[in-house]
Amino acid sequence: MKGESFSVDTESAGTLAGLRWGSTRDLPVLALHGWLDNAASFAPMAASLSGVQIFALDLPGHGKSDHRPPGMRYHLMDYVPAVLEAADALGFTSILIMGHSLGGAIAGLTAVAAPERVQAMILIEGLGPLSESEAKLPARLRDSVSGYARVHKRTAPVYLDIETLVSSRARIGPMSNASARLLIERNVHQHDDGYRWRSDPRLRLDSPVFLTEPQVLACLKAIAQPTQVLLGNDGMLSKRETLGPRLEALNSADVRWLDGAHHLHMDHPEAIAAAAADFLSQFSQ
């Protein structure tokens, strides 16, 4: 299911593109993808999730959405107003958010920043942002500033064929080739000399600052909305020692472990759709 294209204009991030699945009579859910992914991340699950209208955004700088202006950076917190402005443009006064990885972190921060707007969340392999000891801040700041100074001097890479990109993305994921192809096809454009990335190269640069783990836990404790957490048995979060305390920090959550790695919503869409449908049934229109 390729989905229907849409776009919304935001004040803080320009025009954001997206894909929509489902009927206008179905329950609307705003879907946020992971880092360097795009709206096509939710295509496999959309085929199995009936009764739900998915509005999947390309986050700023990703997929077919606008890049930030020259000199601007991609700070984690800046995604929050962009999401709220996109929801406004779509006419959502109360938002159900589904987020994967980075999208899950953004969803949680949005719930903290605007609790009156977020009704509930489904977090797929995403429970708070990455954290780091405050002792690492000076080096991180130096690396980030120097990285941004160099990015303008780089030449955008050109790839002769899309198959190389698909196989490389599948290995990095890890994910199936079919899932990787969905992401790659939306994230490249073709020129006479080959394929180039659509995504902003600044997305790959180091962040100037991470939250500390106590700060992340404080944010999770502030989330009062009903929350479902879907985790892969072989996912990235299963290997992190921060997972247990983060789950405990949530006031109440429907936590489910399912087969799959980090992109389990793409490689095992039926199981994720079934879990999400069960959770969303309490909000049916």
Using CA atoms in the order 226, 223, 101, 229, what is the torsion angle rounded to 10 degrees?
-30
Separation of alpha carbons 131 and 24, rounded Å = 39
Cβ atoms of 43 and 3 closer than 8 Å: yes
Separation of alpha carbons 227 and 128, rounded Å = 13
Whether cis (ω within 30° of 0) applies to the bond prior to 226 is no
Cβ atoms of 227 and 94 closer than 8 Å: no
Write down the residue that tokens 């690492």 correspond to. Answer: 136
Annotated catalytic, 101? yes
- Identify the helix (H) or strand (E) that includes residue 189: strand 188-191
Question: What residues are paired with 21 via a beta bridge?
Answer: 54
| Residue 139 burial (C-beta neighbours within 10 Å; 0-12, 13-18, 19+) | exposed
Catalytic residue, candidates 101, 179, 199, 207: 101
* CA 284 from centroid of its chain's CA atoms: 24
Rg of the chain over Cα atoms, rounded to whole angstroms, equals: 18
Catalytically active residues are: 101
